[in-house]
Amino acid sequence: ASIVLVQTASGKAFQAALTASELADDPTKIPGVPPGVLGTRSPFEKPVKTPSDTSSRTPLQDLHGMITPSDLHYERHHGGVPAIDPTKYELVIHGMVEKPMVFTLADLKRFPSVSRIAFLECSGNYRGSNDGKIRPQEICGLTSQSEWTGVALSTIFREAGVSPKATWFLAEGGDAAVMTRSVPVHKGWDDAIIAYAQNGEAIRPEQGYPVRLFLPGWEGNANVKWLRRIELADAPFMTREETSKYTEAVGGGKIRQFSFTMDARSIITYPSYPAKVEKGWIEIRGIAWSGRGKVSRVEVSTDAGKTWQIARLQEPVLDKAITAFRHLWHWDGTPTEIMSRTVDETGYVQPFLKQLLNARGGNMGYHFNPVTTWYLQGDGAVLFKA
């Protein structure tokens, strides 16, 4: 930026005399855009999700800190995003309850509310690549983080009088898939939220407007969006999403079911493909999270896993929340591999791909959270290695 004090007597003449590109060069000489009803994104910044037919991935490599802008929150749905009129919205709770009830959106907002910053992640959140040309967005962009606000499900349980004998509940969405998942009742008493707000405003349609189930630390699909119904029961309902899908082969011909918890994970988002770096000081940056609680430590290796160092964690480190980590490193230009692994507060250590395959009879599938290794070429290019 530079300012040129042009010698002219008339303001008007001055501005006319400048060409458009000169004007653009010096914003100090043109009154800017006045305040508006909604802020904007700079036209020079175009972060985008990568959509497929069924999902859209958060551009993790372009983000900073721990909050995901709501319009960049990942999407995964099974019948598209429904258009729901909030004045017609109703939530029905029935089954093993004293008093089957109906709540409008306004009703739900009257109950005591709770907010928390927590990640959400699809349990199918893993991709690899043979040529290394794959970004964090493709590898694990089906995770995002928001501040969620709503009413504790336990409050609604008490209001309807959930039977002490109820052990599972069905959560059903009002989308075209009429998405259904069975959830253990204890999660409802523990920390589940009937959420109606995301990052301060109403939940976005793609995340379940007007109301979704939010199960901190549990796989995305069970966090049923566009929630219209809760049915209490004494056994799981065995819906298609918890049998045919969202189950994983674990070896010995066995298929693991109701695997809700998201295992601890991390990824270095800088440097990562397609960034190119220079020799000298590099701040290695990434995000780490665990569905079991707080991230207690992130370890970074800059020598292909031979030695590990403890990264700095950005405060506040929250329960079941994405935590930004940073590790300052001096690169001498020698090709190497860099990687990160999360240790959570239960002592779980994010595994390597090989460990995961060993533990699961050679199968890949849901809940695949391996260490991501980046290969740093001598020219500073960064490629996915494993």
Query: Taking CB under 5 A as the criterion, which residues in 209-238 touch Co ion?
Result: 219
Return the residue of 10, 42, 87, 244 that touches ligand HEC, per CB under 6 A.
244
**Does residue 178 belong to the site contacting Ca ion (CB under 5 A)?**
yes
Site for ligand HEC in 172-191 (CB under 6 A): 177
User: What's the rounded Cα separation, in Å, for the pair 297 and 282?
Assistant: 20
Quick one: what does residue 178 bind among ligand HEC, Co ion, Ca ion, none, with the CB cut-off 5 to 8 Å set by partner type? Answer: Ca ion
Strands 180-184 and 248-251, sheet pairing: unpaired
User: What's the rounded Cα separation, in Å, for the pair 250 and 263?
Assistant: 15
Residue where the block lists tokens 């190497």: 336
User: What's the rounded Cα separation, in Å, for the pair 352 and 301?
Assistant: 13
User: What's the rounded Cα separation, in Å, for the pair 157 and 346?
Assistant: 29
Please name which of 53, 42, 89, 51 lies closest in space to residue 73, comparing C-alpha atoms.
51
**Does residue 257 belong to the site contacting ligand HEC (CB under 6 A)?**
no
Report, in Å, the least distance between residue 224 CB and other proteins: 13
**Does residue 48 belong to the site contacting other proteins (CB under 8 A)?**
no
**Does residue 229 belong to the site contacting other proteins (CB under 8 A)?**
yes
Report, in Å, the least distance between residue 372 CB and other proteins: 16
Report, in Å, the least distance between residue 367 CB and Co ion: 6
Task: Give Dmax (Cα) for the chain.
Answer: 87
Residue 40 CA, chain-centre distance (Å), reads 23
Note whether 233 and 95 are within 8 A (CB): yes
Q: What is the DSSP string of 291-334?
A: TTS-EEEEEEESSTTSS-EEPEEPSP--TT--EEEEEEEEE-S-
Q: What is the DSSP string of 96-136?
A: SBSS-EEEEHHHHHHS-EEEEEEEEE-TT-----SSS---H
**Does residue 115 belong to the site contacting other proteins (CB under 8 A)?**
no
* Window 161-200: contact mask with other proteins (x via CB under 8 A): ---------x-x---xxx-x--------------------
Give the three-class secondary structure for 57.
strand
**Does residue 8 belong to the site contacting ligand HEC (CB under 6 A)?**
no
User: What's the rounded Cα separation, in Å, for the pair 203 and 190?
Assistant: 22
Report, in Å, the least distance between residue 131 CB and Co ion: 30
Site for other proteins in 58-97 (CB under 8 A): 78-79, 92-94
Report, in Å, the least distance between residue 139 CB and ligand HEC: 22
User: What's the rounded Cα separation, in Å, for the pair 167 and 99?
Assistant: 17
Part in contact with ligand HEC (CB under 6 A); list of ranges 87-95, 122-130, 238-246, 325-333: 238-246
**Does residue 10 belong to the site contacting ligand HEC (CB under 6 A)?**
no
**Does residue 138 belong to the site contacting Co ion (CB under 5 A)?**
no
Return the residue of 25, 62, 69, 78 that touches ligand HEC, per CB under 6 A.
78
Part in contact with other proteins (CB under 8 A); list of ranges 116-124, 141-149, 245-253, 315-323: 245-253
User: What's the rounded Cα separation, in Å, for the pair 257 and 276?
Assistant: 42
**Does residue 275 belong to the site contacting Ca ion (CB under 5 A)?**
no
Contact set with Co ion (CB under 5 A): 123, 219, 246, 259, 366
| Interface residues toward Ca ion, by CB under 5 A | 28, 176, 178, 231
